[in-house]
Amino acid sequence: MTFAELLEQVGSMGHFQIIHVMLLVLPILLMASHNILQNFTAATPRHHCHIAVVANYTCNDNFTDLLACQELLRVSIPMDVNQQPEKCLRFISPQWQFLLDANATTTNGSEMDTEPCQDGWIYDRSVFTSTIITEWDLVCHSRTLKQLAQSIYMAGVLVGAMVFGSLSDKFGRKSLLIWSCLQMAITSSCAAFSPNFTTYCVFRFLTGMALSGINLNCMSLSVEWTPTKHRAAVSMVTGYSYSIGQFILAGVAYAIPNWRWLQLAVSVPYFIFFFYSWWVTESARWLATAGKLNQALQELQKVARINGRKEDDKLSVEALRANLGNELRSPKSQAAEYYSTLSGNRRYCILQFFPHSIMHFCAVNNRFSTSFAYYGLAMDLQNFGVSIYLIQVIYGAVDIPAKLIGFFVISFIGRRVTQASALILAGLAILSNIFVPQGELLTLRTLLAVFGKGCLAASFNCAFLYAGELYPTVIRQTGMGFVNTLARVGGIVAPLVRMTSEYLPSLPLIIYGVAPIVSGITTCFLPETLISAASVLAVISASGPPLHGKKMIL
C-alpha cells in the first residue's frame, strides 16, 4: 500500500483536507500584497525641484492648485519636451521675463543657466500622501534605488527558498511554517517603522525570506495531505488565492495612501496566521520518511476521526512500516533502482530520447523567462498613464480567465503547446507596446500589457507542472529546486533591467519581450508529458518480462 492509498483509507478529500487547505490558503492570499507592494509604497508622484522663493508658500504640497504657484513654477523650473516641469533641474535665478511674454519657451532651459535640485523636491501628494520615494527623496540621481529595493526583496525570496526548503526537510513542514509566519509578521511590520532606506531594505530582505518559507511549506502541507486525483483542484484554488490577493492589495492601497500604514496593514494579519498555524497538522508523509512512525500514525488516526472514518483502528506502526517500505528507503537506494531500471529498459523511459542537459536548460529557461517578464510587467503600473489602482485590479482580473484557459489547454492539448504558445504570445504583446507612442492610445497600451500578463500567468501554472513531470521522481526535488532558484533570479533581475531605460526608453520592453519568445521557441524541443491512459497501458504491456515485478519510475 502506498501513502496515496493510505490517504484514501483515512478519508480522501474529507472535512480535514478541506479545512486544512483553506487554512493554508489564507497566508498565500496576502503574498501578492508583498510581492508587488512597492507599486504603491514606492510609487513616484509628480515632482520638481524645491523653489527657494516660495519656501513658505502653501503650494509646496500641491504645486498645481494656485495660479501664483503656477506662475512661480514657470519662472523657476524649465519645461521638458512634454511641456511638464523638469524633475531634476531648476533655473539658477528666476526668469521673470516669462511672466511678461506668454509665448516664451522654457523647454529644457537649454539657453539659460540651470542647476540640479539643491534644496530638495516638491511632490504632488494628491494621490499618494507618502511613499518611500517622497520620504527619502529617491528621485533624480537616487531614482535607481527604487528598483534596487525590489531586487533586494526578491533576493530575500531566493535565499529563503534555499534556506527554508532544506530546513523543512530536516525539521518538518509545520515547524518551518510557524517560524516563517512569525518572521514575516515581525520583519514586515518593522519595515513600516524603518528610519532610513538601508533599514527598510534589510527588513524587506528578511520579509522575502519569510515569504518563501510560507509559500514552500503551505504548498507542501496542502499537497502531501491531498490525494493525487484532487491535487489539480487544490493547485487551482491556491493559484486563484494569489490572484484574489491582487484585488485585495488594490483596495487596501486605495484606502491607505500612506506607505507606512499600508505596509503595516498587510503585515499584521501574519500574526494571526502565526497563532493558528500551531493547529496545522504536520505532514504524515514527512514524519514517516523521517522515521517518526508513531507520530505519523497519530496524525493519520486524527485525520481519519475528523473525516468520520473508522479505519483508524486498523492502522498500526507495523502496518505503516510494511506498507510504506518502498517509500521509507533512502533516496540513494531508490536512485540505484531507478538507474538500474533505465539501463535495462531504456526504450520505456519517457526521457530516453531526449538529452538531459538540453531538457534541463529548457526547463530552467522557461521558469526564468516567465518570472523575469512577469515581474517586469507587474512592477511597471505607473507607466500606463491610467489609475494605478484600476490597472492593478485589471492585472488581477486577467489571471482568472487566463489560468482557467491554461488549465483546459494543459489537460486536453498538452503541456508543451501551452507553455510555448503562452510564452511566445506574451513576448509578442510586450514587444508590440514598443510601437505604441508614449502618452497616446493608452487603452491599446493597457490591453497589450494585460494580455501579456495573462499569458505569463498561464505560463506560470504550466511551468510548475511541466517541470515537475519532466524530472524523474528520484531527482525531481533537486531539479525543481534548481528551476525555482532560477525563477527567483528572474524576479531579482527584472527590476534592474528597468534601469536600462536611461540609455534607451524602449530597451526594457525589448528585453522583457525577447526573453519569453526565445524560451517559447526552446520549449518546442521538450518532450510532451501528457500521456493518455491507453498509451501508458500500452507501454507497460509491451515491456514484457524485463519489467515484471518492477516498478517503473518516471
**Residues 481 and 165: beta-carbon distance below 8 Å:** yes
48 grid coordinates? 520638481
Between CA 483 and CA 475 the distance in angstroms is: 12
pLDDT in tens, 425-471: 999 998 988 888 766 677 788 888 889 888 988 888 787 777 666 76
CA 374 to chain CA centroid, nearest Å:
8
The model's pTM is 0.79
85-89, 107-111, 146-150, 250-254, range with the lowest pLDDT = 107-111
- Per CATH, 1-38+140-328 and 331-554 having the same topology is answered yes
Q: Is the pLDDT at 351 greater than 70, yes or no?
A: no
Which one has a higher pLDDT value, 410 or 193?
193
Q: Is the pLDDT at 56 greater than 90, yes or no?
A: no
378 grid coordinates? 507587474
* pLDDT for the residue numbered 490: 84
Between CA 323 and CA 223 the distance in angstroms is: 20
Between CA 61 and CA 483 the distance in angstroms is: 48
Kindly state the DSSP code that residue 193 receives in the 8-state scheme: T
Other beta carbons within 10 angstroms of residue 394's beta carbon come to 21
Phi, psi of 143 (to 5 degrees): -65, -25
SS3 state at 47: strand
Other beta carbons within 10 angstroms of residue 374's beta carbon come to 25
Rounded (10°) CA dihedral 107, 112, 118, 120: -20
Kindly state the DSSP code that residue 251 receives in the 8-state scheme: H
Other beta carbons within 10 angstroms of residue 537's beta carbon come to 10
Q: How far separated are the first and last CA of the chain, in Å rounded?
A: 19
Q: What percent of the chain has pLDDT over 70?
A: 73
108-122, 168-182, 442-456, 503-517, range with the lowest pLDDT = 108-122
Superfamily of domain 1-38+140-328: MFS general substrate transporter like domains (1.20.1250.20)
User: What average pLDDT does range 117-125 have in this prediction?
Assistant: 84
CA 240 to chain CA centroid, nearest Å:
13
Please state at what angle helix 356-378 crosses helix 473-497, rounded to 10 degrees: 40
542 grid coordinates? 509491451
Task: Domain 331-554: give its CATH code.
Answer: 1.20.1250.20
Domain positions in the chain: 1-38+140-328, 47-126, 331-554
Beta strand 114-116 pairing with 89-91: antiparallel
